[in-house]
């Protein structure tokens, strides 16, 4: 009898613990009853946006990365600066670079029309990033939901937490490790550079002096990115298939055709060489690792429960 009672008490404690943990966790079913059409609303708006401009899939994916790495996936990157508020949009890694905000606004407007003041901007960004990857032929994954939106942003955290294109391998590993992500996650997530574009200013030194750059590739890139001028001129991060989400990025690294110095650091005689070779030859392994790493990145520091708010306009606090 006493034993049975103890078992019951233990079971109760276990269930209470589970419930407490679930409270602070994300779930794919979070909006199942409050906004049942959420995923299809986001998917159709992203389909339109990517049909209009394929690069938008890349721009939104990067927005999600830049949101998550700065005080967690809390929609902070979406806040506009005002005279009394300094946000993240004008931090070094984002200024004249982060884009896609109008697309998030349009998706948010559609979501608000269907489910008023229910779905966070942070979750809309997480879903849109996944949909963009799928639209360009990449892997899919189940998006965890239930993030709430920050009531603050941090330009200084954006400047210090986002790794720059001149980073070496040690710095890349440590920037991801600071967010609880492994070196393998870092190498898989860098495969996002299989789509999208970079400005000359971010790769000029790479094509003008890096020892491990492919000579003909560097010469090609220097045509629109000379040693001075043309800072804003764009080049695809993946020279071969810039609008397909595939494993070509890693194949490029094998022939020293990474566009950014930080890209080529993943294949430069260091700890990630074997993994780059693996991803370059096995798209299924890359797809699987990328999808799993995106879920882990999406779990960085979410605001849950009663923290934060559900912003009505992604650009402003309520
Ligand atoms: C590993 C460290 C990383 C560094 C140093 C880095 C750096 C950069 C830089 C310098 C650009 C070009 C920006 C510009 O010229 O305006 C860029 C573009 C991009 N990055 Fe990264 N990145 C990193 C990781 C990631 C991750 C983890 C993701 C997403 C999972 C990502 C997604 C993208 C995408 C999709 C673009 C193209 C955006 C567009 O075309 O609008 N990057 N990155
Ligand atoms: C440079 O790229 C070409 C293909 O464009 C390739 O044949 C060559 O092996 C590369 N060079 C190096 C050093 O990887």
Each residue's pLDDT tens digit, 225-244:
999 999 999 999 999 999 99
What burial class does residue 104 get, using C-beta atoms within 10 Å of its C-beta: 0-12 exposed, 13-18 middle, 19+ buried? Answer: buried
What is the DSSP track for 158-195? Answer: HHHHSPPTT--HHHHHHHHHTTT--HHHHHHHGGGGGS
Q: What is the model's pTM?
A: 0.93
Going by the DSSP 8-state scheme, the letter that residue 233 receives in this structure is -
Q: Is residue 201 part of a domain?
A: yes
- Shared domain for 44 and 104, answered yes or no, is yes
pLDDT of residue 264: 98
Q: Is residue 43 part of a domain?
A: yes
- Shared domain for 60 and 124, answered yes or no, is yes
- Shared domain for 109 and 153, answered yes or no, is yes
- Shared domain for 194 and 176, answered yes or no, is yes
Nearest by Cα to 100 from 67, 139, 146: 67
Q: What is the 84 CA–ligand 1 centroid distance (Å)?
A: 29
Mean pLDDT score across all residues of the chain: 93
Q: What is the CATH number of the domain that holds 42?
A: 1.10.520.10
Retrieve residue 37's tokens: 């059409």
For ligand 2, atom 3, which residue shows the shortest CA distance? Answer: 255
Q: Is residue 304 part of a domain?
A: no
- Shared domain for 126 and 150, answered yes or no, is yes
The CA distance from 136 to 58, in Å, is 9
Q: What is the 197 CA–ligand 1 centroid distance (Å)?
A: 8
State yes or no: pLDDT of 5 exceeds 60. no
Q: What is the CATH number of the domain that holds 223?
A: 1.10.420.10
Whether 179 lines ligand 1, by a CB cut-off of 6 Å, is: no
Q: How many domains does the chain have?
A: 2
- Shared domain for 278 and 175, answered yes or no, is yes
The CA distance from 290 to 286, in Å, is 6
- Shared domain for 117 and 60, answered yes or no, is yes
Q: 82 by DSSP, 3-state: which?
A: strand
pLDDT of residue 84: 86
> Among residues 49, 63, 64, 66, which one is catalytic?
66
- Shared domain for 144 and 221, answered yes or no, is no
Chain segment 25-43, per-residue pLDDT in tens: 899 999 999 999 999 999 9
- Regarding predicted confidence, which is higher, 307 or 15? 307
The CA distance from 152 to 52, in Å, is 32
Chain segment 250-299, per-residue pLDDT in tens: 999 999 999 999 999 999 999 999 999 999 999 999 999 999 999 999 99
Q: Is residue 31 part of a domain?
A: no
158 close to 78: Cβ distance less than 8 angstroms:
no
Chain segment 157-212, per-residue pLDDT in tens: 999 999 999 999 999 999 999 999 999 999 999 999 999 999 999 999 999 989 99
- Shared domain for 177 and 240, answered yes or no, is yes
- Shared domain for 137 and 206, answered yes or no, is no
| Domain limits for position 274 | 169-294
- Shared domain for 145 and 193, answered yes or no, is no
Q: Is residue 302 part of a domain?
A: no
pLDDT of residue 24: 55
Boundary residue ending a domain (131, 162, 193): 162
Tracing tokens 């005689």 back to the chain, one arrives at 269
Phi (first) and psi of residue 82, to 5 degrees? -135, 180
- Shared domain for 188 and 134, answered yes or no, is no
Ligand nearest to the CA of 298: 1
Whether 86 lines ligand 1, by a CB cut-off of 6 Å, is: no
- Ligand 2 mutation pick, 252, 256, 259, 276, max ligand atoms within 8 A of CB: 256
State yes or no: pLDDT of 78 exceeds 50. yes
Kindly give the number of the ligand 1 atom that is closest to the alpha carbon of 57.
35
118 close to 35: Cβ distance less than 8 angstroms:
yes
The reply to whether 261 belongs to the active site is no
Q: Is residue 307 part of a domain?
A: no
Average pLDDT (77-96) is: 95
pLDDT of residue 6: 47
Question: For 254, how many CA atoms within 13 A lie in the half-sphere containing its CB?
Answer: 13
What burial class does residue 186 get, using C-beta atoms within 10 Å of its C-beta: 0-12 exposed, 13-18 middle, 19+ buried? Answer: buried
């Amino acid at each position: 009898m006493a034993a049975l009672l103890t078992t019951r008490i233990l079971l109760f404690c276990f269930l209470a613990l589970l419930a407490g943990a679930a409270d602070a966790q994300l779930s794919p079913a979070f909006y199942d009853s409050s906004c049942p059409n959420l995923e299809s609303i986001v998917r159709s708006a992203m389909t339109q946006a990517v049909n209009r401009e394929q690069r938008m899939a890349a721009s939104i994916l990067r927005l999600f990365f830049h949101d998550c790495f700065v005080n967690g996936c809390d929609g902070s990157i979406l806040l506009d600066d005002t005279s009394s508020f300094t946000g993240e949009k004008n931090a070094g890694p984002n200024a004249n670079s982060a884009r896609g905000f109008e697309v998030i606004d349009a998706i948010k407007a559609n979501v608000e029309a269907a489910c008023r003041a229910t779905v966070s901007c942070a979750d809309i960004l997480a879903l849109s990033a996944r949909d963009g990857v799928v639209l360009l032929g990449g892997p899919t994954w189940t998006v965890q939901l239930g993030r709430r939106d920050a009531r603050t942003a941090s330009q200084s955290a954006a400047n210090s937490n986002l790794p720059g294109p001149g980073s070496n391998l040690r710095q890349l590993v440590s920037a991801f490790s600071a967010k609880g992500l492994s070196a393998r996650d870092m190498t898989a997530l860098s495969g996002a550079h299989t789509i999208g574009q970079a400005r000359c200013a971010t790769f000029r030194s790479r094509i003008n002096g890096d020892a491990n750059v492919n000579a003909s590739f560097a010469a090609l890139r220097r045509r629109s990115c000379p040693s001075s001028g043309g800072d804003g001129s764009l080049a695809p991060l993946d020279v071969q298939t810039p609008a397909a989400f595939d494993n070509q990025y890693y194949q490029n690294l094998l022939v020293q055709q990474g566009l950014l110095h930080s890209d080529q650091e993943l294949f430069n005689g260091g700890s990630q060489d074997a993994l780059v070779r693996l991803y370059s030859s096995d798209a299924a392994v890359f797809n699987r690792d990328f999808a799993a790493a995106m879920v882990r990145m999406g779990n960085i520091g979410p605001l849950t429960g009663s923290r934060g708010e559900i912003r009505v306009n992604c650009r402003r606090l309520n």
